[in-house]
Amino acid sequence: MDRTAVEEEYVEYVTARADGLRRLAFALTGDPDLADALVQSTVTDLYVHWRRARSAPDLDADVRSALVRSWVRGRRRVVGRASADSVRAAMQRLPRRVQAVLVLRFGLGMSVDATAATLRCTDRAVRRRAARGLEALRAHLGDPPPA
């Protein structure tokens, strides 16, 4: 495949997935400008590695995983009965990996297995982080623990 065709394939791929990537990035950052910057950083990295990346068995999962891992590493900043601002403030107090688990599991409705694959950790780690994160959010937001 010539360079022009490969670049067109990349542009088609990114264009088709840009909205979904922005939604994920916004769910993580809580800020539209930071979300756009995170997406831009991710798709730029993807462009650099496109020739190899495009043959991945599940490219969508790999790109989502790269975006989340970039955010977890701290390249960009985050995102009941409580107000959205209260939830954001409570989320920011949590470790980034816990925040990522909560956003993927409950914000995007991903399964434990898919979340573990995205974050490259075990199912047990996802369940543990989700439980700790929800417990911390409840404590911060004043919700009683579940019966």
Enter the tokens of residue 122: 């075990």
Cα(136)–Cα(55) distance, integer angstroms:
40
83-147: what fold?
Arc Repressor Mutant, subunit A (1.10.10)
From-to residues of CATH 1.10.1740 in the chain:
1-79
CB 82 within 8 A of CB 32: no
Could you report the per-residue pLDDT of 9-18, keeping only the tens digit for each?
A: 988 999 999 9
Lowest-confidence range among 17-21, 106-110, 131-135? 106-110
Q: What is the pLDDT of residue 137?
A: 84
* CATH tag, 1-79: 1.10.1740
pTM of the full structure = 0.59
